[in-house]
Structure 1
């Protein structure tokens, strides 16, 4: 890796920072809404799966204890 003077480093950082394309406000809001929707759907899905498997385990435990 080549050594660069502090002034050259600052110039390179400024050049690279000028290439950044920031999202618009609308894009930010749409992304936030999509993240909220997807996390809600995944939360509901995993809650359902957990509930189902919890019921299966409870049934198996009661079956094994001879109370079925």
Structure 2
């Protein structure tokens, strides 16, 4: 593997960083809101699934236990 001297490395790094397209403040806010919203929806979904499984299991155990 060819070695790059530190000056070339710094220049190449700067060139690559200049190609990065940074998100706007609006994009960051919208993405953050969407993440929190989807996390809340997922939490609600799994809470309902858990409640359903718990209720079903409780009903089965009560019917077996008398």
**Residue deviations 1:9-60 (CA, integer Å, cap 9, x gap):** 1111111111111100111111111111111111111100000001111111
Give the TM-score normalised by structure 2: 0.90
Matched, 1:27 2:63: no
Write the mapping of 1:1-68 to structure 2, written as runs, cut at 5 A: 1-65=1-65, 67=66
Question: Which protein, 1 or 2, shows the higher relative CO under an 8 Å CA cutoff with sep ≥ 6?
Answer: 1
Q: TM-score, normalised by structure 1?
A: 0.88
Which structure's residues are more often helix, by fraction?
Answer: 2
Aligned length: 66
Moved beyond 4 Å, runs of 4+: none
After TM superposition, give the deviation of residue 2 of structure 1 in Å: 2.2
Instruction: Give unpaired runs (5+ residues) of structure 2.
Output: none
1:64 to partner: Cα distance? 2.0
The RMSD of aligned alpha carbons is 1.0
